[in-house]
Chain A
Amino acid sequence: MSTILEMRDITKTFPGVLALSHVSMKVEEGEIHGICGENGAGKSTLMKVLSGVYPHGSYDGEIEFEGNIVKFNSLNDSERAGVVIIHQELALIPRLSVAENIFLGNERRNAVGLIDWNRVNHDATELMKQVGLHENPTTPINQLGVGKQQLIEIAKALSKEVKLLILDEPTAALNDTDSAHLLDLLRSLKARGITCIMISHKLNEIEAIADTTTVIRDGKTIEHLDMSDPSVDQDRIIRGMVGRDLEHRYPEHTPNIGEELFRVEDWTVYHPTQQDRIVVDNASFFVRAGEVVGLAGLMGAGRTELAMSVFGRAYGRAHSGRIFKRGQELRLHSVSDAIANGIAYVTEDRKRFGLNLIEDVRRNVSGAALGKMTKRGFVNGNEEIKVAEEYRKSMNIKTSSVMKVVGQLSGGNQQKVVLSKWIYTDADVMILDEPTRGIDVGAKYEIYTIVNRLAAEGKAVIIISSELPELLGTCDRIYTIAFGRVTGVLDVADATQESLMKLMTQERTSARSGAGEKE
């Protein structure tokens, strides 16, 4: 094996910020090279330097690719050399066909310069075969699932005769089956001699697939780990990432559970546009004060739909069923009704549904409870700053000022802003949908601590998550959801990943163990 890529002493500064400081890394030909680091550690910046997004000259240090010093000035330069980057947010055009997407910017042309559609579609079929897909090349890309779209991205990279493939969080949006499939594909690419760099927060995947792992922290290379060494495991990587031992990934939590606070009975919701499609089917569950309850389900099981429809009918139509708080039936017809009744829903997609990214921390924090700082119709701007400052401290939001635009914060800090916003509404029923998606290990721990604090204050907390260890580590009780139905409920002491997964994949439940159960 020879070295395909060596980055030496890369230093990149932004006005006032040192993003990368003398980072060096070496990638061997034909290996899968993992890059781990907390959000904001500089992983993406490093990859942007490598792929020419930040042109040569805007950083210090040198890059050697296949034995030559390279000076990429744009993505086109690096792609021509065989370096292809696939970003976390897929760059596919929804309504264009699979083949059109694969060859976008790289169209197959005939002698007169017109697109040769037969060749395009034929080549696309061939490329799809290489990634294990058998789709019609003329299918619009938005008719494929996210997992398949991710594979199309790889096919697109293959069409560019890729030598070094960079994947930024490739499995973030994928379910377990699709993730496993993707990892298999990476192994087969490796067998073909394609080198991969993979950035991931899912350390189990890194552990499973990477040959070498580079750990980056605060813009510096911390270490290179040889993954064949049996002493290198996830905890070892975490130690490098956070620079400290995370004794436990989940903070200690002593439940102090009180009376029933929130109950949903026989909740049924139809799909907003498809006539007869039932998305949530007769779901019932309850949460007690001070209790953390998990909703476990695979993607598409209807977890988010259940939560959002309960939250003032923010999803779906033809809702039926009953919602109770402290034994009183609530009639929630709008989001503002839900907020007024002390219910908060922290969305799974903070960028699209949770935050106003072009607005500052202050105004995002006050966004859902502006009325609290309003007198005679006027918002008290000073009070608003004060509140934001309080949350900055109590939630440990890392920002130079509360006047900083939220879009510039890291994922973990954005999540803390969203949580602050909902805690400020004084809600006592908090529904947290994937509260730790896409955020790093250190910030996750902080989020779990906040969850515990909310429970200790006597609030009812509902956590929706696809990461079973997370639910097992934070919840007191876990409901499983499959195909829109509640298929079971387990006390955390009795639950294992296996038992939950079994309930989560159960198509029909004979005994509705979850529904109506009450102590």
Chain B
Amino acid sequence: MSDNANPNGTATTDVFASPLADPGAHESMGSRFVGNLRQSGIVLAFVAIVALFAILTHGDLLQANNITNLVLQYTYILVLAIGMVIVIIGGHIDLSVGAVVALTGGLSAVLVIKDGHPWWVGVLAAIGVGLLVGAWQGFWVAFVGIPAFITTLAGMLLFRGLAWAVLHNLSLSGFPKEYQSIGNGFFNGVMGGNGYDSFTLLVFGLALGGYAYGAYRARRARVAYHQPVLSLPLFALKILAVSAVVMWFAWQLAHARGLPYVLIILGSFVMIYTVVTTRTVFGRHVYAIGGNLAAATLSGVKVKWVNFGIMLNMGFLSGVAGVLFTSRLNSAQPNAGTGFELDAIAACFIGGAAVTGGVGRVTGAIVGGLVMAVLSNGMLLLGYGQGTQQIVKGLVLIVAVAFDVLNKRRAGAH
């Protein structure tokens, strides 16, 4: 992205003029794969699980409508998982997000359904309250120094209680159409279509174009900085493979109901938070704090403010999830979101976050969340009940983390 920041880029490119002949290229792919075994492993596991259920359900899993449903049903968990992975990288945990979803969604319902305010008042209120909740918990965690486990355990009770109070122990339903469409609406027929929505394909196509261009520029920058890169054919192959999978996915959406709004929301969050965690000073400080708090403090990291930011952000995303969830269900209930925190936490750990902090990725948490989503959905299609689903999810979580632990032990044995 910032390859143009290299003043001697032209001088150094010559050395790597022929990346095809770069002897380090193959090695680097191998070592990168091993280095990210945990991260690559989860992607491979995800592909395997998808393949398994596609076969078992005779293709039902991958049917256009089912895929659309999957997206609609799990977005709010994935949004929570994004916030949660940042919390976990920082070495904390947040047990209160389910309660915050109920509180923010409940408040939004009261304002919009009961008091008749326009839909966007509800949205803004939910997000505003989410931020307040985040600031409250951030205050205790960062400035008073109460462990997040305790702070958010208290928050779980506190905000659940507030959710009951706000809703007067009742559930509310009947949101206006605009509000409902946030979680259920689609872009369809924006540009017309012949049994498929060309706009969906266009959006995905543009996104892929952007991705390919970005990857190409990043690769060029790495070459300029003398960094090992994939050889050009491999690089092209990788881009093509990703494009094929994504366009297939787009095609499925396009000839079902079109492009869900929530997917745009989720996609933006994934992109923004990937950049935040990997490229910004704040993101890097989160990793530093989780990796070694004392060293981070002595390196001038403003630990308190970073921790405050982590919790504030989690509150914000909980508010967003509150809106998505009420919108999807077209109702708000005081006991909504029970167990969401655990789903979000599980997604992070399946996706490679370390229990001790300092390790994790936004994309990992998303894939972890998708693994759980596909497991649930696939087993549902096969007619297995809640009980079996929970058993399998529990086993997957323990196996994923065991893999991590064993892997670390092997690396540390040296």
Binding site for B on A (CB under 8 A): 14, 17, 19, 311-312, 314, 334-336, 338-339, 345, 347, 352-359, 363, 367-368, 370-371, 374-375, 377-383, 385-386, 389, 403, 407-408, 421
Contacts and interface: CB of A to CB of B under 8 A. Distances in A.
B287 interface: yes
B300 A335 contact: yes
Interface stretch (B217-225, B250-258, B388-396): B217-225
A380 B222 CA distance: 11
B5 interface: yes
A345 B298 contact: yes
Interface string B382-414: 000000000000000000000000000001111
A358 B280 contact: no
Contact of A359 (B5, B227, B358, B411): B358
A368 B221 contact: no
A367 B280 contact: no
A378 B279 contact: yes
Given A358-B359, A379-B281, A367 B299 contact: yes
A380 B292 contact: no
B60 interface: no
B117 interface: no
Contacts of A358: 291-292, 354, 358-359
Nearest to A382: B225
Nearest to A359: B291
Contacts of B302: 334, 336
A19 B6 CA distance: 40
B3 interface: yes
Given A356-B291, A403-B35, A314 B298 contact: yes
Given A19-B414, A314-B298, 18 more contacts: A311-B298, A314-B297, A334-B302, A335-B297, A335-B298, A336-B300, A353-B295, A354-B295, A356-B291, A356-B358, A357-B291, A374-B281, A377-B281, A378-B280, A380-B2, A385-B227, A386-B225, A408-B414
Of residues B279, B292, B411, B414, which shows the largest number of chain A Cβ atoms within 10 Å of its Cβ?
Answer: B292
Given A14-B414, A336-B302, A379-B284, A356 B296 contact: yes
B292 A379 contact: no
Nearest to A19: B414
Interface string B185-228: 00000000000000000000000000000000000011011110
A330 B294 CA distance: 24
Contacts of B301: 336
Contacts of B227: 382, 385
A17 B413 CA distance: 13
A467 to B, nearest CB: 23
A339 B301 CA distance: 10
Most buried by B among A314, A359, A363, A407: A359
**A17, A338, A382: most-surrounded residue (chain B CB, <10 A):** A382
A335 B299 contact: yes
B347 interface: no
B291 to A, nearest CB: 4
B299 A368 contact: yes
A344 B301 CA distance: 14
Contacts of B84: none
A389 B359 CA distance: 23
B142 interface: no
7 contacts: A334-B302, A335-B298, A355-B295, A359-B358, A374-B281, A378-B279, A383-B2
Interface string B292-320: 10111111111000000000000000000
A311 B222 CA distance: 37
A339 B5 CA distance: 25
Contacts of A312: 300
A355 B300 contact: no
Given A356-B358, A408-B414, A382 B279 contact: no
B348 interface: no
Contact of A381 (B279, B296, B297): B279
The 5 A-B pairs with the shortest beta carbon distances in the complex, nearest first, are: A356-B291, A336-B300, A368-B299, A382-B225, A339-B300
Nearest to A366: B284
A156 B387 CA distance: 50
B64 interface: no
A382 B35 contact: no
Given A356-B358, A375-B5, A377-B281, A382 B292 contact: no
Contacts, number: 105
B288 interface: yes
A345 B224 CA distance: 34
Given A382-B6, A382-B225, A389-B226, A363 B298 contact: no
A434 to B, nearest CB: 15
A379 B283 CA distance: 10
Contacts of B298: 311, 314, 335, 345, 347, 353-354
A93 to B, nearest CB: 20
A427 to B, nearest CB: 11
Contacts of A314: 297-298
A164 B3 CA distance: 60
Contacts of A378: 1-2, 275, 279-280
B88 to A, nearest CB: 14
A378 B411 CA distance: 32
Nearest to A17: B414
A355 B292 contact: yes
A356 B2 contact: no
B289 to A, nearest CB: 9
A352 B300 contact: no
B354 to A, nearest CB: 8
Contacts of B35: 403
A354 B295 CA distance: 5
A114 B3 CA distance: 69
Nearest to A312: B300
Contacts of B295: 352-356, 367
Contacts of A356: 287-288, 291-292, 295-296, 358
Most buried by B among A312, A358, A386, A389: A358
Nearest to B228: A401
A335 B288 CA distance: 15
Among B278, B280, B412, the most chain A Cβ lie within 10 Å of the Cβ of B280
B168 to A, nearest CB: 44
A129 B288 CA distance: 46
Nearest to A403: B35
Contacts of B281: 370-371, 374, 377, 379
Given A353-B295, A354-B295, A375-B5, A368 B300 contact: yes
Contacts of B278: 381
- Which of B3, B224, B300 has the most A CB atoms < 10 Å from its CB? B300
Given A382-B227, A385-B227, A403-B35, A352 B294 contact: yes
Contacts of A375: 2, 5
A382 B2 contact: yes
A379 B299 contact: no
B2 A363 contact: no
Nearest to B285: A370
A338 B300 contact: yes
Nearest to A48: B413
Contacts of B359: 358
A71 to B, nearest CB: 19
B225 A385 contact: yes
